[in-house]
Structure 1
Amino acid sequence: MTIYFYKAGQPYGCFSNFSPHPIEMEGVCWPTVEHYYQAQKFVGSKDEEIIPLIHAASTPEKAAALGRSTARALRTDWEIVKTDIMRVAVLKKFLTHAQIREVLLVTADEILIENSPTDYFWGCGADHTGENHLGKILMSVREEIRQSLYISVKSNT
């Protein structure tokens, strides 16, 4: 069975980057993965003064809107690093929060798909032809956590 997720308030909403699960990255606590991800777009760019505003945004939706502004210059390597940045943040979220880590692990080997009707890169898009990179990251993180638990159990026996 394929598991579809999208909004934080829906089933499997903890898989959304908008879910209210803070992460600490490089000594800074970010309210959501979305806040962190959007801020990373501007690291080292001429518009990096937007980063504290994204960090302080009252909702992940507001953080996303700030980060998606086409009036600002993104870091020059953004297209190269964005998937790795997302993966590191998602992994941190599931390592930090045991309750949602368990939700992820219970999905076993199910395919996870971000059911975004508009996002064809991170999600599946309206016609389900999108690349689903967020779902792929979640499945990869699930496997990494599973392997680390296996190694931990095996080393304790």
Structure 2
Amino acid sequence: MKQDRPIVLFWRGTFSQWYNSEFTLGGFKFKWAEQWMMYKKAEKFGDTETMKRILHAKSPKECKQLGRQVHDFISAEWDKVSRDVVYEGNIAKFSQNVALKKQLLATGDAVLAEASPHDKKWGIGLLASDPHAQDPSKWLGTNWLGEVLMRVRTELRNRQESAANERHKKTDRRK
């Protein structure tokens, strides 16, 4: 059954965890949201050596590879916190990069979906060109990244509206 809301399918580009978009979080500078995610994965399991290596990684692919080497990793434990970790990283990514924030907010209320044929957890398990990609009931994956980005979009929109309301209040007080 097709969605009433439009669907924005992505795999690479602005909304990707691998998109080059520097941000600072927790006192460290990250080049990609993937780097933040893998850094926090290593931190969660107390793997300080891998944390250091991730901070010095040269690509998001290297970050992902290092993330697969985290010592004492327990998938079920990571699954409990990973969406919040990705949310925190993407709040920083989009709030610290104005052009990226504008692109995210420009999606309106569309459903965001990572059209990765290889990822059934963070993506929909389908390419954007697959006819089933426009029908969430036919997705093969859970689309965690899309869900996180929609939460980020809502939070950034709320912050923007709060800031606008504050400016309006200050203007009213001056009259």
Relative to the length of structure 2, the TM-score reads: 0.80
Counterpart of 1:66? 66
Q: In the TM superposition, what whole-angstrom CA distance separates every residue of 1:39-98 from its partner, at most 9, and x where no partner exists?
A: 2112153533111111111100111111123x7322784222111111000111000000
CA distance in 1, matches of 2:71, 2:104: 35
Deviation of residue 120 (structure 1)? 1.0
SS at match of 1:113: strand
Q: Runs of 5+ in structure 2 lacking a partner?
A: 1-5, 127-137, 169-175
Q: In the TM superposition, what whole-angstrom CA distance separates every residue of 1:1-27 from its partner, at most 9, and x where no partner exists?
A: 3111112xxxxx110010000121111
Counterpart of 2:10? 5
- Count how many residue pairs are aligned between Structure 1 and Structure 2: 151
Deviation of residue 38 (structure 1)? 0.8
* One-letter amino acid of the structure 1 residue matched with residue 31 of structure 2: P
* Structure 1 position 123 matched with structure 2 position 123: yes
Counterpart of 1:152? 163
**Which is further off, 77-86 or 92-101?**
77-86
Relative to the length of structure 1, the TM-score reads: 0.89
Distance change in 2, residues 1:44/1:141 (3 Å): closer
Q: Runs of 5+ in structure 1 lacking a partner?
A: 8-12
* Structure 1 position 57 matched with structure 2 position 57: yes
Deviation of residue 129 (structure 1)? 2.2
Q: Contact 1:21/1:93 (CA < 8 Å) preserved in 2?
A: yes
Counterpart of 2:143? 132
* One-letter amino acid of the structure 2 residue matched with residue 132 of structure 1: N
Distance change in 2, residues 1:94/1:44 (3 Å): closer
Distance change in 2, residues 1:88/1:46 (3 Å): closer
Counterpart of 2:80? 80
Q: Contact 2:45/2:71 (CA < 8 Å) preserved in 1?
A: no
Distance change in 2, residues 1:57/1:113 (3 Å): same
Counterpart of 2:129? none
Q: Contact 1:104/1:142 (CA < 8 Å) preserved in 2?
A: yes
Q: Contact 1:42/1:73 (CA < 8 Å) preserved in 2?
A: no
Structure number with higher relative contact order (C-alpha < 8 Å, ≥ 6 residues apart): 2
* Structure 1 position 101 matched with structure 2 position 112: no
Counterpart of 1:90? 90
Q: Which of 1 and 2 has greater Rg?
A: 2
Counterpart of 2:40? 40
SS at match of 1:72: coil
Distance change in 2, residues 1:122/1:44 (3 Å): closer
